[in-house]
Chain A
Amino acid sequence: MPLATSQTSVPVVVDEEKCIADKGCTVCVDICPLDVLRISEMTGKAYMAYDECWYCMPCEADCPTGAVKVNIPYLLR
C-alpha cells in the first residue's frame, strides 16, 4: 500500500536567527527525551523532525541562545 504524508503543525519552534546549530551546537537534539529534533541539512538549524512531543521543555530550558520555544500541541490546546 502506498504511504501518504499527513500535515501536522508541530509544537516546537526554533528561531533560526538565534539558533547556533550551524556553529556546531547540538544541545536540543542531544537531550530531547523523545528524540524528535534534528538539524536541517539545508539550513543548518535545529527543527522538529517528528511530531512526537511530550512538551516537557528540556530543549527550551537548555538552549544556550533561547532559540527554542515549546508550544502546546494543537490537539490539546
Chain B
Amino acid sequence: MDDLVDGLSEVSCDVLVIGGGTAGPMAALKAKMKDPKATVILLEKANVKRSGAISMGMDGLNNAVIPGYATPEQYTKEITIANDGIVDQKPVYKYAERCYSIIEELDNFGIRFLKNENGDFAVKKVHHIGTYVLPMPNGDTVKKALYRQLRRARLLISNRYMATRLLTGRDGQVAGAIAVNTRTAEFLVVKAKAVILCMGAAGRLGLPTSGYMFGTYENAANSGDGYAMAYHAGAALANLECFQINPLIKDYNGPACAYVAGPFGAYTANNTGSRFIECDYWSGQMMLEFYNELQSGKGPVFLKLNHLHEKTVAEIEKTLHNVERPTRGLFHEGRGTDYRNEMIEMHISEIGLCSGHSASGVFVDEFARTTVPGLYAAGDMASVPHNYMLGAFTNGSVAGEDAAEYAGSTDFADIDAGEIEKEKARVLAPTKRNDGIPPNQIEYKARRLVNDYLQPPKVTRKFELGQRRLAEVRDDMQNQMIARNSHELMRALETASILDCADMAAHASLYRTESRWGLYHLRTDYPEKNNDDWFCHTLLRKKDGRMVSEKREVQPYIVPIADDEKDLYDKQRIRATA
C-alpha cells in the first residue's frame, strides 16, 4: 500500500492552477473561457470533487455586495475600517464591484440563494455598518455544481498530486511547478506560462486544544503549502502577523454564530447570558473582546440560542447540522448538548494564516498578480482581506482571466534541470533514511511550539525562544525525518510547509513593533497601536536565502474614510449601563 515508485513525467500547459478547492476551479474555468485554445491544468492534492474549505458546501455568502442592499463603496469602507485601515482598496473595490455577477453565475450553475416573497435576495445584516450576508439553502451542492462546470469545459484535472515547489526562469518569472503523487511518490513536472496558486489557508499551523492534530478549523489538508511555495519562489507575502483566529464551539471546529444563527437572534454571551460584543462579525477587535471575556470572571463564552422559539432553533439547526460542518449534530448528540436547553460553550480556534478571514496572505494586486511575473494567487492564501468564499470565486475569476491573457503573450521560460534534481532530492530525502523520526511527531512538536510561543498575546522574548525551538525542530526535520511510504511522504512535505509558515508567522510578528488588528496582532510589550510608524503593510520575502521583512505604504484610498468612522470597529465592547 502506498509503495514508493520511482518515476517522473513532464507535461506543459499555458495556465497551471494549483489547488482545486474554491478559487482554483473558478480560476481554471475562467482561464479556459477567456482563451478556449489555451491548455489549462488543474492540479489538486486531494480530489477536486471534495477538496478544500467547502468540501461539504457552505451555508451562505458572508460578503455579498448586492445592488439595493450595499454598494462597493460601502463594502470597501467597511473592510478598510475592520482592518484598522491597512488595506489596499483597489482589489477590495474590484471584488465588491464584480462579486454580484459571480453570484448570478453561481445561480446559473444551480447554486440557490435565499430569496424573499418578492423574489429578491434575502440579505441579512451581520457586519457593523452594511448588509452583506446571503444564506444558501442548498449550499451543500456547491462542489458538485462546480465540478459539473469543470467537466463541461473539459478541463484537465490531475488529482492526488501535491505541488512542492514552483520553478522559475532566469529572470525570476514563473516557469512551472514540481509535484509529487501522494499515492506513489512519482514526480510530475508541469511547465507553464502562468501559474495560479489557490492552495488555501495555512490552517494546520496551531494545534487545536483538543490535541487532535487534524481537528483544525480549516480543512486540515490546507497545510500552508501555497504560502511556502510562494515564499521559496521569491514572492512577497503580506501582513502575516495578522493571524487568523476564529470563535468556535469548544472542541468542535464549527463556527458558531455570526452568519447563520446571528440573523435569527442568537448571540455570543458570557456566563451571565449577557451580550458583551456589539457585533459578531469576525474582526480582530471582536476576537480581542472574545478573548478578554474568556479570561475574565464572566467567562467562558457561550453561543446563546435558548431564548429563541423552537421553530427558529430548528431552522438554525437544520443549516448548522447539514451544511459545511455536518458532523456538528453528532458532536452535540454525543455531548448531550442542545441549543434549546442551554448555552453552548465556545472557545477560540488555533492560530492560522488566512486572508479569507483576516489579512495574512501572498501579496496580490487587483489583478491577483503576485510580485513574481506570471505567478498569481487567489482565495484564502492571497492577500485580499476578509474575502471568504465569494472572494475566492471572484478573485479566482480575476486571476484566471488575467493569467490566460498573460500566457497568451508570453513564452515558456527555460527550466533549469538542476533545479528539478535538487527538488527531487529534497522531497525524497525522508525516504532514503532507514532510521529516524516520523513526520507526525515532528509536526506535533512544531505545532505544539506554535501554541506555546506564537499564539497571542505575543511577547518578544517568547517569540525569540519559540524561534530557537522551532529551529531545532527544523534541524530534526532536515536530518532525521523518515517517510516509509508515499502517504507518509505527503505528511512529511506538509510538515515542511507548516514549519515554513511558523517561521514566517514569527518573523512577521516580531517585525511589527506595535499592536494592531485586536487579538490577531496583540503584542503585550508593544500594547498600543502606533499609526506614526506602522500605518503600513509589511511584506515578507526570501532574499539571498534569508527571510526579510519590509514596510509597504498603504496605497491611497479610492473610498475616503472620515475621521469619525476610522475607529468604528474599535468600539466592540458593550458599555455597562448604570
Residues of A within 8 A of B (CB): 1, 3, 30-35, 38, 41, 49-50, 52-58, 61-62, 70-73, 75-77
Contact = CB atoms under 8 A, between A and B. Distances in A.
Given A54-B221, A57-B56, A72-B327, A31 B213 contact: no
A70 B1 CA distance: 23
B18 to A, nearest CB: 16
Given A1-B436, A31-B49, A54-B253, 7 more contacts: A30-B159, A34-B46, A55-B327, A56-B325, A72-B330, A73-B215, A76-B215
Contacts of A72: 252, 327, 330-331, 334
A31 B214 contact: no
Nearest to A58: B50
Interface in B141-197: 159-160, 182-183
Interface in B206-263: 208, 210-216, 219-221, 251-253
Most chain-A CB neighbours within 10 Å: which of B50, B487, B491? B50
B46 A76 contact: no
Contacts of A73: 210, 212, 214-215
B438 interface: yes
Nearest to B208: A76
B549 to A, nearest CB: 32
Most chain-A CB neighbours within 10 Å: which of B46, B252, B334, B435? B46
Given A3-B438, A34-B46, A35-B182, A52 B211 contact: no
Contacts of B159: 30
Given A49-B1, A62-B50, A57 B211 contact: no
A35 B91 CA distance: 35
A41 B214 contact: no
Contacts of B436: 1
B220 A54 contact: yes
B443 to A, nearest CB: 10
A34 B214 contact: yes
A33 B204 CA distance: 14
| The 10 A-B residue pairs with the shortest CB-CB distance in the complex, in nearest-first order | A76-B210, A58-B50, A75-B212, A31-B50, A76-B251, A33-B46, A55-B327, A54-B220, A52-B214, A75-B210
Contacts of A53: 214
28 contacts: A30-B47, A30-B49, A31-B50, A32-B47, A33-B46, A33-B51, A33-B52, A33-B219, A35-B46, A35-B182, A49-B1, A49-B487, A52-B220, A54-B214, A54-B216, A54-B219, A54-B253, A56-B219, A57-B56, A58-B55, A58-B56, A61-B56, A62-B50, A73-B215, A75-B212, A75-B215, A76-B210, A76-B331
Given A33-B219, A72-B327, A75-B211, A56 B56 contact: yes
Q: Which secondary structure dominates where chain B touches chain A? A: loop
A50 B50 contact: no
Contacts of B325: 56
Contacts of B1: 38, 41, 49
A52 B212 CA distance: 9
A32 B47 CA distance: 7
Contact of B490 (A35, A61, A75): A35
Contacts of A62: 50
Contacts of B490: 35
B137 interface: no
B408 interface: no
A31 B331 CA distance: 23
B487 A33 contact: no
Contact of B334 (A49, A52, A77): A77
A72 B1 CA distance: 26
A15 to B, nearest CB: 17
A7 B45 CA distance: 27
Interface in B429-454: 435-438
Contacts of A76: 208, 210, 212, 215, 251-252, 331
Contact of B327 (A3, A31, A57): A57
B139 to A, nearest CB: 13
A20 to B, nearest CB: 19
Interface string B43-67: 0001101111001100000000000
Interface string B375-387: 0000000000000
B326 to A, nearest CB: 5
Nearest to A73: B212
Most chain-B CB neighbours within 10 Å: which of A34, A49, A76? A76
A76 to B, nearest CB: 4
Nearest to B143: A58
Interface in B332-350: 334-335
A16 B97 CA distance: 52
A23 B213 CA distance: 34
Given A35-B160, A54-B219, A71 B214 contact: no
Nearest to A75: B212
Most chain-B CB neighbours within 10 Å: which of A3, A33, A61, A70? A33
A35 B221 CA distance: 9
Contacts of A49: 1, 487
A41 B1 CA distance: 9
